[in-house]
Amino acid sequence: MNEAVFYIAAASPEPAGGIYQYEMQSSGTPVQTGFYHLPNASYFAFSSDADFFYSTCTVGNSGGVAAFRMRPDGALEYLNACASEGVSTCHLAPSPEGNYLYAANYSSGNFAEFKLEGGAIAERIRIIPHIGRGVNVKRQEMAHPHFTKFTPDGRFLCVIDLGIDTVRLYPFDPERGIDAGHPVDCKIEPAGSGPRHLIFDASGKYAYLLNELGNSVAPLQYDGTKFIQIGCAATLPRFAGDVATKAAAIRLSADGRFLFASNRGYDSIAVFEIDEPGKLRLCDMVLSGGSSPRDINFLPGEKFFAAANEFSDNVMGFDFDPATGKLTPNGWLLTHMPRPLCIAHLKQR
C-alpha cells in the first residue's frame, strides 16, 4: 500500500463534496491524485488489514456509511453504502477482525451496528440507543454519541457520548458483535465536559479524551476492564477572553511525547508535552490558519502536520519538529474543497 497517500473529507451534498485523495511529495507538498463524490462525507476509518476504507455520509434522508476497497496505490474502489437510520452520522469504526462496523449518530442519540462481508456492508443489524442528558441545557439536552473506537486489546467497543458525559465500553465478541446490555461506563468530570474523541498511547494502557464543551483533555487509565479518569488539562490559554470556542480533534505523535488538540472559535492548536503517561504540560499554542479547525493530523511520514479549517474552506500545512513538538506554518494551503472535516491516512495516531 502506498503509505504516502492521505485523504480529506469535504462535507457537502454538492458535486465538490466527497473524498479528496492526496500524495505527499518529498518536499512536503501534497499533490491531489483522486476524488470520489460522496454526499456529506465527514469521517474516515481503515480496516485493520488496510484493504478497506470506510466513510460516513448521507444515504437519502438518513445518515449513513460507505465502504471502499483500497488499491495498492491508495485509489479507492466504491463497494456500497447503507443508511444508519440515524441523524448526523459523525464517526465510525470497523472491528479488528473485519466482521462488524459501528457508526455514531450524534443528533438521534444512538449508534448503528453493521455486518461486514468481504469488506462490504452486508446489512444494518441494529440500532443501540443512549438515554439521558447532561447539565449543559443547550448542548446536553439528550444523549449525543460522537465517537466509536475499539480498545487496543479488542475487548471493547468504546462509544463516547457528549450529551451524557460518558465514555461507554461495550463488551465485544468477534462472532456475535457487542453485548449492548452490559456496558461499562466511565463518567467524565467535571459535569458538562462534553467528551468528544479519544486516542490511546502505544502501550494501550492510557488514553487521552478530548472534551468539546470543557475545552480540555482528560487522561484516562485503561486496565483491560474499565477506564479511570486521572486528570484534566485545559486546551486554552489562561486568558482566552470571551470567544465562544469548543475543542474538536486530538492527535498523538508516534513516539508518544506530544499531544495536539484543536480549538474551534479560538482557532488554534494546543500542543502538550507528555512528561510521563497521563501527565500533560501545555507547551505551545499555534494558530490554525483558518476558521474552526474541525480536524488536525500528521501527514504520512510525520514530518508534516495539517489543520482542516471547516468554515474557511481550507487546509493549512505545518512542519513538525519531533524534538520540540513545534508546529511551523510551511506555506502550503489547500483552498478548493468545501467544509474540510477529516484528514486521515493509514499510519495515523
Q: What is the pLDDT of residues 16-49, one digit of tens each?
A: 999 999 999 888 889 999 999 999 999 999 999 9
Residue 147: its pLDDT value, please?
A: 98
Sign of the C-alpha dihedral computed for residues 135, 233, 262 and 252 taken in this order:
negative
Cβ partners under 8 Å of residue 304, min gap 6: 24, 28, 298, 317, 318, 319, 320, 330
Give the whole-angstrom CA distance, residue 63 versus residue 56: 8
Residue 342: its pLDDT value, please?
A: 98
Residue 2: pLDDT band with limits 50, 70, 90: confident
Cβ partners under 8 Å of residue 176, min gap 6: none
Q: What is the pLDDT of residues 240-255, one digit of tens each?
A: 777 899 999 999 999 9
Q: What is the pLDDT of residues 92-128, one digit of tens each?
A: 999 999 999 999 999 999 999 999 999 999 999 999 9
What is the mean pLDDT of the segment spanning 227-246?
91
Residue 237: its pLDDT value, please?
A: 92
Total residues found in the chain within this entry: 349
- Return contacts of 34-38, CB within 8 angstroms, 24+ apart: 34/74, 34/75, 34/76, 36/68, 36/76, 36/78, 38/66
Residue 238: its pLDDT value, please?
A: 85
Give the whole-angstrom CA distance, residue 159 versus residue 185: 10
Residue 57: its pLDDT value, please?
A: 98
Q: Which of 23-32, 62-71, 155-164 has the lowest mean pLDDT?
A: 23-32
Residue 106: its pLDDT value, please?
A: 98
Q: Is the pLDDT of residue 349 over 70?
A: no
Cβ partners under 8 Å of residue 138, min gap 6: none
Residue 221: pLDDT band with limits 50, 70, 90: very high
Average pLDDT, the chain: 96
C-alpha cell at 265: 472559535
Give the whole-angstrom CA distance, residue 145 versus residue 158: 10
